[in-house]
Structure formats: structure tokens, C-alpha cells
Structure 1
């Protein structure tokens, strides 16, 4: 195993040197829904190494496969509108101060209609001023789920359920848990966002 790279603790897995299980997961990530449509942030570098949390998933492909499948379902299989979904992800990015999540999902947020003023407010953790009552309620609920889970009392829940419904609260709580997990792993392995990375991490020799 190589020593820890200067801008990250986990070596990059080269696509030509993956185990069969890793190859399957790599194909699911690079050939699944994330790879179709507009490429708003890169999944791989020029040599095919996976960016961000996806490289770490290859460390444990069975668990990584389940994690990436959950992420794909959250991104592409919920009833959350794109604006609500990206707002919620960026709330988690701010709570965790996750550079990679912010880098990736501000790009997606712009593409789905979040304005620069709204993105800045989400980055700063302030009210983005959504005029749509549902979007504002979803933003407010996500802030509580991500930042104040100890304050999810009955009164709060009753109000949130009346505004959003149980299905949306389930989907938002799942989203918060998933992106908080990724933020934790990105912090654990010191994975930088590409635009703040400096020298690239050394590829793995495995």
C-alpha cells in the first residue's frame, strides 16, 4: 500500500487494478444514473480514478455498493423536486462544512434553478428566502434534521407533517442521513474538493 497522499488519506484506486467486486461497483457508479444526462461535476479524473466519496466506496465494495445504490435512489428515485433535493443536500454540506458536497451540489443546484443569492444563503446557513411555502418548509425541516436532531419534539413534528407530509419527511431524513454519512467519510479520509485539492493524491498501486 502506498503512503497517505498529501491531500487525502486514502490512495486512489486505479480502474485497471480493481478486484472483480470493485469492478462491478465501479461500473455501477460510472455507468448508472449519475453518468447519464448533463455532467455537472466530474465523477472521475482523466485516468479514471473516482472522485470524492466514490473512491472510498471501493475500499469495501459490498457495503459501498449498498451505499451508492441508496444515494442513487435518493438522487433519482424520490418525489422531492430537484430544487428541494439540492437545497437539502446543501444544508447538510453547510452543517458538516463539506467542501466536496458543496462543490458538487452547488453545480447541480444552479442547473435546477437555485439562484446565486439562494446558494450563498445556503452556504452561509441563513434563510434563502424561498417564496414557495413548500420549499421553505422543506428547507426549515432539513435544517432541524441535520443540525438539531435533539429538538425534534412533537410540536415541531406536527407542524412539519402538516406542511410536508410523512413521505417527504421520510425522504428528507433519509437524504440527511446519507449525505451526513458521505460528509463523515470525506472528513475521515480528508478528501478535498477538486477545486481546492492542490496536488492530486497518488494513485493506489493495488
Structure 2
């Protein structure tokens, strides 16, 4: 396969120098039958392709399948509304500085109904103070506290249960954890953002 065009410095993720994509998609001719089956399942499923965290996960096809199933539920079947899911996914990507997931999910958040100005404030590293609906603000506060403290205070937890129910809190927490996990994997693998990505994240965590 020909080398991919160089990725702009602002869209790279992971700090090791010199920078290189460590785990690109393996060439088709070198894939094992298990890898080919895993790739085909992704192509045939709701994602319609092999990209993002599934590039490094191709090294472990069984893990890819199981991680993929968890992600399918959280992204496409969760009890949480799409607006809430996409906003929280952006918060997780922002927290760990993952360019790929940010550039996938920020437009999806806006498309789902999250205020574009609030998303841009989050991109710059701040907590939006206007533009968010009540459930969005509640979910963002829960997610940011979880990312910051590795838990949830009693007041934040009680508000989240009132707003989303216990199932919603479980799925909200798992959504944060899932995206931190795949973001870490891409940061380690130096999976680049798409070449067409827009404004990059600033390098400072929330």
C-alpha cells in the first residue's frame, strides 16, 4: 500500500517523537482469517467500515468483536438520547485529547441538536456555560466530574439518577469509560484524525 499523506501536526495525537502511526490497518494479504472476518463484520454492521480504534484492535480480533458489541449498544441502542450520548462522547475525547473521536462526534453532537457554540467552547477546554439543555448540562457535569475525580459525589449522583434513572446512570458511566478506553488505545497507536478534520483540539486537558 502507498504511504498515507502526512497528517498535519495539529491533528496528530500521542506525544512520542518522531511521530508515526504505529498500528495502521494491516494489508489484506497479511490478515488472518479471524482478522478478515472481524473486518467484514464491521463493514456489514452499523459502522460500515474499519477505522478509528478498530485499526489497532485488528491485532486482537476477539477483543475487537467484543469491544465493538459494547460500543454498538452504547452508540446506537442506549436508553440515553443521542444529544446526550454525543455530548458526553465529546467530553471524553476532549479530556484525553483524542483528535479522531472529537472530529467524528463533534459534528454528530451538533446534528443531534447540541448547540454548536457549546461544542466549540468544549473544544477549547472550557465547560460551556450557555447553550446546553437541562439534560445535556446534567450529563456533562456528571461526565466531567467522573473524568476529574474517578467517581461521583452524592449531589451529582442524586441529580443524575433523578434525570436519567439508574439505568441511565449506568449507561452514562459506561459510555464515558468506553470512550476513554478507545481514546487511550488510539492515543497509544497514534491513530490519526481524518485528513478532512476541522479545528483541532487545544493540547490542554479539562
- Name the TM tier (shorter chain): 0.7 to 0.9
- Looking at structure 2, the residues matched to 53 and 172 of structure 1 have their Cα atoms a distance apart, in angstroms, of 20
Equivalent residue, structure 1, for 2:136: 135
What residue is the counterpart of 2:43 in the other structure? 30
1:10 maps to 23
How far is 1:111 from its partner?
2.3
CA contact (8 A) 1:94 1:125 kept: no
Conserved 8 A contact 1:117-1:128: no
Corresponding residue of 2:88: 88
Aligned-partner Cα distance in 2 for 1:134–1:98: 25
User: Structure 1 residues 99 and 155, CA, compared in 2 at 3 Å: closer, same or farther?
Assistant: same
Tell me the TM-score normalised to structure 2 length: 0.78
For 1:175 and 1:158, how far apart are their aligned partners in 2? 19
| 2-structure distance, mates of 1:159, 1:113 | 22
Where in structure 1 are there 5+ consecutive unaligned residues? 36-42, 44-49, 198-206
Q: Which segments of 5 or more consecutive residues in structure 2 lack a partner in the other structure?
A: 1-17, 198-206
Work out whether residues 118 and 132 of structure 2, in 8 Å CA contact, stay in contact via their aligned partners in 1. no
Per the normalisation by structure 1, the TM-score is 0.78
Shift in Å, 1:196: 7.9
Aligned residues: 179
Q: SS of the counterpart of 1:33?
A: coil
Residues 128 and 14 from structure 1, CA distance in 2 versus in 1: closer, same or farther, beyond 3 angstroms?
A: farther
Residues 40-51 of structure 1: pairs in structure 2 closer than 5 A: 43=49, 50-51=50-51
Deviation per residue, 1:78-118 (Å, 9 max, x gap): 01111101000000011101111111111222322233202
1:93-108 aligned at under 5 Å gives the runs 93-108=93-108
Question: Residues of 2 paired with 1:80 and 1:15: CA distance?
Answer: 37
- The corresponding residue for 2:203 is none
Q: Deviations over 1:89-148 (max 9, x none)?
A: 000011101111111111222322233202102212322524532222111111112222
RMSD: 2.1
